[in-house]
Amino acid sequence: MQIVSTTGARDDQKILQLKGALTLQTVREFQDAMRAETAPTLILDFSGVPYVDSAGLGALVGAYVASKKLNRKLLFASVNAQVNALIVMTHVEQFFKMYPTVEEAEAAATAA
């Protein structure tokens, strides 16, 4: 998995563009990237993520829990149908704020 970090629409926003599957083999890279970020608002761009397995889903829930403890906003953008189906099927969708595009996530973060 490749993770590219960029500044969002505002200085307090960071966008992590995820490229590749989020699986047991790549979850550590994701967790390390999440721990390294300190921005108050973090947007995860899933446009390059074709697949998430159960370990990846666990890492996403862990990221949610960590963001709550740190009082950080965590938003998901561009989640594909497969990943969305996994999130819904496992009943964790109420934890995640999901938006169709990064731009919509940025706007929502700015408005909140």
Question: 18-75: per-residue pLDDT in tens?
Answer: 999 999 999 999 999 999 999 999 999 999 999 999 999 999 999 999 999 999 999 9
Question: Is 112 a domain residue?
Answer: no
| pLDDT attached to residue 112 | 62
| pLDDT attached to residue 18 | 98
- CA distances for 4 relative to 7, 46, 74, 82, angstroms: 10, 11, 16, 22
Among the listed residues 47, 68, 46, 56, the one whose alpha carbon sits nearest the alpha carbon of residue 24: 56
User: Number of folded domains in the chain?
Assistant: 1
Question: Is 36 a domain residue?
Answer: yes
Question: Is 103 a domain residue?
Answer: yes
Q: Which H or E element spans position 2?
A: strand 2-7
Amino acid at 82: Q
Rg of the chain over all Cα atoms, to the nearest angstrom: 13
pLDDT confidence of 80, banded at 50, 70, 90?
very high
Residue 19 belongs to a domain with what CATH number? 3.30.750.24
Q: For 40, which DSSP code? A: S
| pLDDT attached to residue 62 | 97
Question: Is 72 a domain residue?
Answer: yes
Flag whether the pTM goes above 0.85. Answer: yes
The residue range of the domain holding 89 is 2-107
